[in-house]
Copies of this chain bind each other. A is one copy, B any other.
């Protein structure tokens, strides 16, 4: 019988998920967790959708800069912005995520948040991953969408905790994952109230508010959610602090790391993927009690087809 999590192959990982959900939902059981406290957090890039050869948002900024350019001398100083303007995907793929994302966030400074979301929504309709020709919106992982639905069906509240821009991800989170905007935590620019005769808006400022990666993920979980999750799912070293924070709480906990080891159906990469490596995570799964999920072996399907 495979009505539940049909895209997950039978095996240790699928069992550990089903066991965990049974334990925390069994009323009167020793590991019971009331529904309100069933907080599950998921990284986005590389965990819920494809991030290879670069995160989706990088392609958005690349197209935006092509369209509008920039004459901002502070931005033009950044190697990532020069690579974005040149459309040099290979150079970008050789930089750590933060080096690309921080200046990329600044590109829309001065725009209202509503206008920014409109631009993202229009762009993402037609945009495709240059490596596999798949529309970015078709780059979500079917097993993960099943897992999100399965958890919500058992009283979990599901959150995204992403290094990507919080407003960018919010444009697609409900439609792609059934996760409403207020359950998305992410990197952010500072923003400001702005009232004129034309309207009252929130403007994006050039200053970074938070780069939601590594140790900043659990800090932002506390700021935005205010409870320690009982389940965390990531795919890179940037998710390790969030996994450790989750697993260190009392009672039943589940921490999972997705290993991209499937060159045939998606991509195979880990330690050497500069934008978001998985190395320390691979070395410490036993130490922290993290389950390593093999895309190749644990997933029956990767995408919808």
- A interface vs B, CB < 8 Å? 36, 39, 113-114, 157, 166-167, 170, 174, 180-184, 188, 190-193, 195, 199-202, 209, 215-216, 218-219, 222-228, 241, 244-245, 247-248
Contacts and interface: CB of A to CB of B under 8 A. Distances in A.
A191 B209 contact: no
Contact of A245 (B202, B222, B248): B202
Contacts of A195: 241, 244, 248
14 contacts: A36-B174, A36-B180, A181-B225, A181-B226, A182-B183, A182-B226, A184-B226, A188-B223, A191-B219, A191-B222, A192-B219, A193-B241, A195-B244, A200-B248
A74 B180 CA distance: 42
A113 B182 contact: no
A216 B193 CA distance: 7
A299 to B, nearest CB: 29
Given A181-B225, A224-B182, A226-B167, A245 B36 contact: no
A63 to B, nearest CB: 23
Contact of A226 (B170, B192, B209, B248): B170
Contacts of A174: 36
Contacts of A191: 219, 222-223
A83 B36 CA distance: 39
Contact of A200 (B166, B190, B245): B245
How many copies of the polypeptide does the oligomer hold? 2
Contacts of A199: 248
Given A182-B183, A195-B248, A200-B218, 16 more contacts: A36-B174, A39-B182, A157-B182, A166-B226, A167-B222, A170-B226, A182-B226, A191-B223, A193-B215, A193-B216, A193-B219, A193-B241, A193-B245, A200-B244, A200-B247, A201-B248
A278 to B, nearest CB: 19
A192 B215 contact: yes
Contacts of A224: 182, 224
Contacts of A227: 181-182
B166 A223 contact: yes
A210 to B, nearest CB: 9
Given A36-B180, A182-B157, A195-B244, A202 B226 contact: no
A220 to B, nearest CB: 9
Contacts of A181: 225-227
Most chain B CB atoms below 10 A, which of A170, A199, A226, A241: A226
A274 to B, nearest CB: 23
Contacts of A247: 200
A85 B190 CA distance: 35
A200 B228 CA distance: 11
A176 to B, nearest CB: 15
